[in-house]
Structure 1
Amino acid sequence: MNPVVRTLLSRVGGYVGACLLVVFFALPLLWLVLTPFTPNPTYRASLSGVTLDNFRALVDNPQVWPSIRNSLVLAGGSALLVVALAALAAYALSRVRVPGRDQLLYALLLLSSIVTGTAAMVPLFLMLFQLGLIDRQVGVVLVLTGGLLPAAVFMLKDFVDSVPRSYEESARVFGAKPNQVLRHVVLPVIRPGMATVGVWALVQVWGNFLVPYVLLANPSKQPAAVVMYTFYDAGGQPDFALISTFALVYSVPVVLLYLVVNRRYGFAFQGGIKG
């Protein structure tokens, strides 16, 4: 076969494959956008008409807005704790030379990846029961924060490593104390990394189902990720109108936050100082 024809066919095949992948991943998004406005929604993505009745039914549902408020509390509290604690830990690990520092960090990251989900829920439940934190949102925030911290420290440490030590030495020459060096020199430089980790942590908590489902017994305290699973009728059939509309509304805050932070800082998983 002619090399030119072979190259042309390979390129055409690559483009066709890429188009098929785009269509495959775009179909769920198409369903999410179209179905809330469909009079009789099903599992198929189609727009046989335009209506806002699904949104009216969603507004009339007494569980929706309290659950979104609970999601904001859990996700916001966990993200703030993760960013604050990860920044302090990343700075300490980057600047203080401790024997086995890198091995400890990789071990924590590995353990946090292995001991997750159902494998960790029994000891976590027993620990929170002894502390009196069952059915309390602060207990859920602490559990989610602890699960996200190792990966957050791992990501932020790279940003802290990129901060030249000369910046800190110059600040100390002018009499800055360690907490002032951290607050006025290091944290402003790694702010893009903190924003990245904050959005990542918020998204992880925003869609978490297992932890709040197990640790929160009161339905009024459960987040939207748990309440969404109650939109089924007595026969176990899903209510597509409520599920699709709620899924669209539920995804808007995270998308908006991503766009705002990305516009302000951009997203990168490595330090941002360039020589």
Structure 2
Amino acid sequence: MTATTATVRKVAANTSVRHYLARVAFGLVLTIVGLLFALPLVWLVLAPFDATPSLSLQWPDWTLDNFARLFQNPYAMRSIGNSLLLGIGTMIIVVVLGALAAYAMSRIRIPGRDGILYGLLLLSSIVTGTAAMVPTFQIITSLGLINTYTGVLLVLAGGILPTVIFILKDFMDSIPKSYEESARLYGAGPFRILRDVVVPIARPGLAFIAIWTIVQVWGNFLVPFILLRSPDLQPAAVLMYTFYTESGQADLRLISAFALLFSAPVLIIYFVVNRRYGFRFHGGIKS
């Protein structure tokens, strides 16, 4: 009996040691991964204030001359405004049309509905912006929308809508139909039900879609680069491509300062919306 107890204790001790070592190894892995993600963020914060920034992480020689040079560029601040215009414009189009389409797909029993949703999501993932750029350019040219925000907004919104409908449809499915039936008993019409019943409940999903859309548009380079010709209309993601020195090298002083300003609006929007609405994400299609 004593030998059995000692064996049990030994096995328990070995198990405890292995569990402890596994936790330590897991913690080390998470620390290394966290550092890999943190180093670029530290560079983003420090490099703009360095008189001689480089691609390596170093303690900066503190200066504000990089921002002074950046503000002398006549297109820098305008490009951030252009990015905001494209991001907010695309967000409005996507949220409105996506909410209406997702609500209709959720409430109307269409034959093959789930297949249509998966097909739209699959095609939007396979036929990326790069693959569809030539026909897209031809269509926008034939419509006379080259070098206009209208053409860029249509292309950006069209590429994002399938994923938005797929996500929002699940939020609409989670809303009990009894709420809408109660509203109908009091004489509410379809659009009033959507506005006063559905939208307030699906608000976290709409907030998530709004932020996700702005992020997708904010860093989009290819579409505005191809469809916009005038420097006055170019967004920040395209303008950053032009920051070179006279010798043809990347101007890290301008790039680092502009990158910090470029990332600030999205972070501000995210924290404001998250504080106001919060985020809850539910995936999949409910039958």
After TM superposition, is the score higher than 0.5? yes
| Structure 1 portions without partners, runs of 5+ | none
> What is the Cα deviation at residue 44 of structure 1?
1.4
Q: Which residue of 2 aligns with 1:267?
A: 279
Matched, 1:33 2:33: no
Q: Secondary structure at the match of 2:131?
A: helix
For residues 4 and 169 of structure 1, do their structure 2 counterparts lie closer, same or farther at Cα, with a shift above 3 Å needed? closer
Q: Could you report, residue by residue, the CA deviation over 1:10-51 in whole angstroms, capped at 9, with x for unpaired residues?
A: 222111111111111111001000001111111112223221
> What is the Cα deviation at residue 97 of structure 1?
0.6
Matched, 1:117 2:134: no
> Equivalents in 2 of 1:270, 1:18: separation in Å?
26
Q: Secondary structure at the match of 1:118?
A: coil
Answer yes or no: is the 8 Å Cα contact 2:117–2:166 preserved in 1: yes
Q: TM-score, normalised by structure 1?
A: 0.95
Larger radius of gyration: 2
One-letter code aligned to 2:134:
V
> Equivalents in 2 of 1:42, 1:244: separation in Å?
9
Q: Could you report, residue by residue, the CA deviation over 1:166-203 in whole angstroms, capped at 9, with x for unpaired residues?
A: 11111111111111111111111111111110100000
Q: Which residue of 2 aligns with 1:208?
A: 220
Matched, 1:149 2:149: no
Corresponding residue to 1:189 among 201, 206, 231: 201
Q: Which residue of 2 aligns with 1:50?
A: 62
Q: Secondary structure at the match of 1:248?
A: helix
For residues 180 and 3 of structure 1, do their structure 2 counterparts lie closer, same or farther at Cα, with a shift above 3 Å needed? closer
> Equivalents in 1 of 2:186, 2:154: separation in Å?
39
Q: Which residue of 1 aligns with 2:97?
A: 85
Q: TM-score, normalised by structure 2?
A: 0.92
> Equivalents in 2 of 1:169, 1:243: separation in Å?
55
> Equivalents in 2 of 1:91, 1:4: separation in Å?
52
> Equivalents in 1 of 2:276, 2:60: separation in Å?
39
Q: Could you report, residue by residue, the CA deviation over 1:37-69 in whole angstroms, capped at 9, with x for unpaired residues?
A: 111111112223221111111111111011111
Corresponding residue to 1:217 among 229, 236, 239: 229
Q: Which residue of 2 aligns with 1:67?
A: 79
Answer yes or no: is the 8 Å Cα contact 1:213–1:226 preserved in 2: yes
Runs of 4+ aligned structure 1 residues displaced above 4 Å come to: none
One-letter code aligned to 1:208:
N
One-letter code aligned to 1:218:
S
Corresponding residue to 2:179 among 167, 185, 194: 167
- Which shows bigger deviation, 260-269 or 26-35? 260-269
> Equivalents in 1 of 2:263, 2:228: separation in Å?
22
**RMSD (CA atoms):** 1.3
Corresponding residue to 1:99 among 101, 105, 111: 111
Q: Secondary structure at the match of 2:146?
A: coil
> Equivalents in 2 of 1:5, 1:177: separation in Å?
65
Matched, 1:249 2:261: yes
Q: Which residue of 2 aligns with 1:135?
A: 147
Identity of aligned residues (%): 57
| Structure 2 portions without partners, runs of 5+ | 1-10
Q: Could you report, residue by residue, the CA deviation over 1:213-234 in whole angstroms, capped at 9, with x for unpaired residues?
A: 0111111111000000100123
Answer yes or no: is the 8 Å Cα contact 2:49–2:60 preserved in 1: no
> Equivalents in 1 of 2:92, 2:131: separation in Å?
26
> What is the Cα deviation at residue 81 of structure 1?
0.3
